[in-house]
Chains A and B, each alone.
Chain A
Amino acid sequence: MIPTPQSDSARLITPTMLVLWLVLATVPFWIARVGLYPYLGIEILIWSLYALAFNLVLGTAGLPSFGHGAYFGIGAYAFGLCQFNVVANLWACLAAALAVAGLAGALVALFISHRRGIYYAFMTIAFGQIFWTVAIKSHKVTGGEDGLLKIARLPADFGFASFDLAGNVAFYYFVLMVFGIAVIVLWRLVHSPYGRVIAAIKQSETRAAHLGYNVWLYKASIFALSAAVSGFAGGLFAMAQLAAFPDVMSLHQSGYVVMMTLVGGGLVSFWGPVIGVFLFLIARDVIGAMTNAWMLYFGLLFIAVVLFRPEGVAGAIMAAWQNRSLNSMRQQGGTALRLLLGGGRWR
């Protein structure tokens, strides 16, 4: 269970969201002054959306997906290919990113949803590698290792007005708007009856099945949904980079989102993945500017979290601010971590 005050879980928009949006809205005004740059803000928002989508599977459903980069990447390619071959319309191409990645996720879900634990993890890796290989080898379609280049930031046409997103600040605000809507949708999803059933299945598939829930269908559907939203984030990423590359689909980049989510505290908090992305990307830019070995430090931090602090940063923050017991949060994180990799079918 992702613990939130009852009242918050029933809300469409929570105080935390409002504060976050307000802070994020000011970013372009000061980010250059602290030595960073607006593009980093775009990256953080897109990866946050991706990590939140990923955490539907990892945190909410307790299913270890270690090849999620595939869906992020598929979304990016789908956005580009739609733009080049179907129609150069922002909404259509974002919808294509969502739909194609969702379909890919649904296809994979067909093969893995009777599993959980380590078997599930292995199979998600295998499928991730398959998609990655296909992306690299289909040179004619995807541009292979060179990537699919010259993707344009299509204008956002709202009917009454159309906005050019070519500049980073305009694009940042567009991504922020989309991120804001996505957060509302995901928050509601996690706290809906569906989300509660998914959380119940995480705790005991056996019990859920004997309460009349089609466990397989729930697991398959949350995976496909997560893949779809990851693909949507991938579509935004293609716009951000003006290209789509296969490396986001690789196993090691799929590992990034796992690390971000766990370090941030995705096992105990909805916001964990966002915190993880902030830390990861800022560490990359700040520590990365000083030493090439920044990944080593983040890797060590990841190991420390897995071994000693499964509640992650979000757990520590909730303990400090919401006056919740750190111990119980640590227990909860530990249990979630055990469920993630232990647990065969008989639970």
Chain B
Amino acid sequence: MALIEVSGVHVRFGDRVVLESIDLTVPEGEFHGLMGPNGAGKTTFFNVLTGRVKPSRGSIRFDGEDVTGLSSHRIAAKGVARSFQIMTLFDEFSASENVIVGLPGFRARGFDMHHAAAGDRGFAEKASEILVTVGLAAKSDTRAKDLSYGDRRALEIAVALGQGPRVLCLDEPTSGLGSDGVQRLATLVGRLKGKLTIVAIEHDMEFLFSLADRISVIHWGQVVARGTPHELQQNEWVKRSNLGRFA
């Protein structure tokens, strides 16, 4: 049984159909790439997957359980973490605190009103371990808004990792990064590959083709092509529509 099973997902905003019918099956441990032109509905698909948008038709199963229409916080609590195309961090919080708030252990104490949050060393230590893995060890006390763009991208990943997720959804993680930044991110994400199930929307072909086990191409609200990076390069549709055009 696959970890993620999406079938026939249909989304419309008013009378504008954004997703016609999306099917997607991702087995545990796979790195699955999503690509497609701007406005194809990739982010909307993530929004459906993570409970932000309710589909008008279709179903989403996570680890065999029907999670269609559950709210974001419930889906997140089941182990689905995501990053955002437009970065949303807690800007006034330090890097460390951003990670701490994402820890399931902290969340479990979310309604604790009578202990001091700063009094718990355990969370801070856990956060700093995670910050080390993304190369932000030295910046754990820096406020998120004072971090460089690349560091913020890394922090997004750190927060997601802190959630201890089973699935990591990355929405254009390299966007806005220079080539060094992309390299750093590729190394980081590459280390996660195999340990986690990853679904990544990405327009950087090199990044995606080198990391993904399989890739789905979304266009006109449907999956128009799917396969291993190698298969996709041979795919008629992909060849005809000139991959490089996708952004």
Contact A200–B93 (Cβ < 8 Å): yes
Q: How far is the CB of A164 from chain B (nearest CB, A)?
A: 33
**How distant is the Cα of A189 from the Cα of B89 in the complex, in angstroms?**
23
Among A4-12, A35-43, A96-104, A288-296, the stretch that binds chain B is A4-12
Which residue of B72, B110, B116, B163 contacts A10 across the interface (Cβ within 8 Å)?
B116
Q: Interface range on chain B: under 10, 10 to 19, 20 to 34, or 35 or more? A: 35 or more
Contact B93–A193 (Cβ < 8 Å): no
Q: How far is the CB of B18 from chain A (nearest CB, A)?
A: 16
**How distant is the Cα of A193 from the Cα of B89 in the complex, in angstroms?**
18
Q: In the assembled complex, which residues on chain A have CB atoms less than 8 Å from the CB atom of B100? A: 196
Contact A193–B81 (Cβ < 8 Å): no
**How distant is the Cα of A347 from the Cα of B118 in the complex, in angstroms?**
26
Q: In the assembled complex, which residues on chain A have CB atoms less than 8 Å from the CB atom of B52? A: 206, 209-210
**How distant is the Cα of A6 from the Cα of B100 in the complex, in angstroms?**
15
B159 within 8 A of A: yes
Q: How far is the CB of B12 from chain A (nearest CB, A)?
A: 18
Which residue of A9, A212, A218 contacts B118 across the interface (Cβ within 8 Å)?
A9
Contact B72–A193 (Cβ < 8 Å): no
Q: How far is the CB of B115 from chain A (nearest CB, A)?
A: 6
B30 within 8 A of A: no
Contact A210–B91 (Cβ < 8 Å): no
Which residue of A207, A218, A332 contacts B110 across the interface (Cβ within 8 Å)?
A218
Contact A210–B115 (Cβ < 8 Å): no
Contact A203–B117 (Cβ < 8 Å): no
Contact B88–A195 (Cβ < 8 Å): no
Q: How far is the CB of A213 from chain B (nearest CB, A)?
A: 6
B111 within 8 A of A: yes
Q: How far is the CB of A212 from chain B (nearest CB, A)?
A: 4
Tell me whether chain A's interface is mostly helix, strand or loop, or mixed: helix
B122 within 8 A of A: no
Contact A193–B102 (Cβ < 8 Å): no
Contact A193–B92 (Cβ < 8 Å): no
Contact A211–B107 (Cβ < 8 Å): yes
Which residue of A195, A214, A332 contacts B113 across the interface (Cβ within 8 Å)?
A195
Q: Interface range on chain A: under 10, 10 to 19, 20 to 34, or 35 or more? A: 20 to 34
Task: Return the chain A residue nearest B146 by Cβ.
Answer: A328
Q: How far is the CB of A254 from chain B (nearest CB, A)?
A: 26
Cβ < 8 Å to A, chain B residues 112-155? 112-119
Q: In the assembled complex, which residues on chain A have CB atoms less than 8 Å from the CB atom of B74? A: 212
Which residue of A10, A203, A209 contacts B90 across the interface (Cβ within 8 Å)?
A203
Known contacts A191-B118, A207-B90; A197 and B73 CB within 8 A of each other: no
Q: In the assembled complex, which residues on chain B have CB atoms less than 8 Å from the CB atom of A209? A: 52, 71-73, 76
**How distant is the Cα of A221 from the Cα of B93 in the complex, in angstroms?**
22
B174 within 8 A of A: no
**How distant is the Cα of A273 from the Cα of B7 in the complex, in angstroms?**
53
Known contacts A1-B93, A9-B118, A214-B73; A192 and B101 CB within 8 A of each other: no
**How distant is the Cα of A210 from the Cα of B107 in the complex, in angstroms?**
12
Q: How far is the CB of A346 from chain B (nearest CB, A)?
A: 9
Q: How far is the CB of A301 from chain B (nearest CB, A)?
A: 26
Known contacts A6-B118, A200-B93, A210-B72; A193 and B88 CB within 8 A of each other: no
Which residue of B76, B81, B89, B101 contacts A197 across the interface (Cβ within 8 Å)?
B101
Known contacts A192-B116, A195-B117; A210 and B82 CB within 8 A of each other: yes
Q: How far is the CB of B76 from chain A (nearest CB, A)?
A: 4
Which residue of B92, B93, B110, B112 contacts A213 across the interface (Cβ within 8 Å)?
B110
B104 within 8 A of A: yes
Contact A193–B91 (Cβ < 8 Å): no
Known contacts A196-B101, A203-B92; A213 and B115 CB within 8 A of each other: no
Contact B118–A10 (Cβ < 8 Å): yes
Contact A191–B117 (Cβ < 8 Å): yes
Contact B76–A193 (Cβ < 8 Å): no
B77 within 8 A of A: yes
**How distant is the Cα of A188 from the Cα of B114 in the complex, in angstroms?**
6
Task: Return the chain B residue nearest A4 by Cβ.
Answer: B118
Contact B110–A194 (Cβ < 8 Å): yes
List, sorted by A's number, 15 A–B pairs whose CB atoms are closer than 8 Å: A9-B117, A191-B117, A192-B112, A192-B113, A194-B113, A199-B93, A200-B93, A204-B90, A210-B81, A211-B101, A211-B163, A212-B104, A213-B110, A335-B91, A347-B88
Q: A195-B117, A196-B97, A212-B77 are in contact. List 10 more A-B contacts (CB 8 A).
A: A9-B116, A192-B117, A193-B117, A194-B111, A197-B110, A206-B84, A206-B88, A207-B90, A209-B71, A210-B82
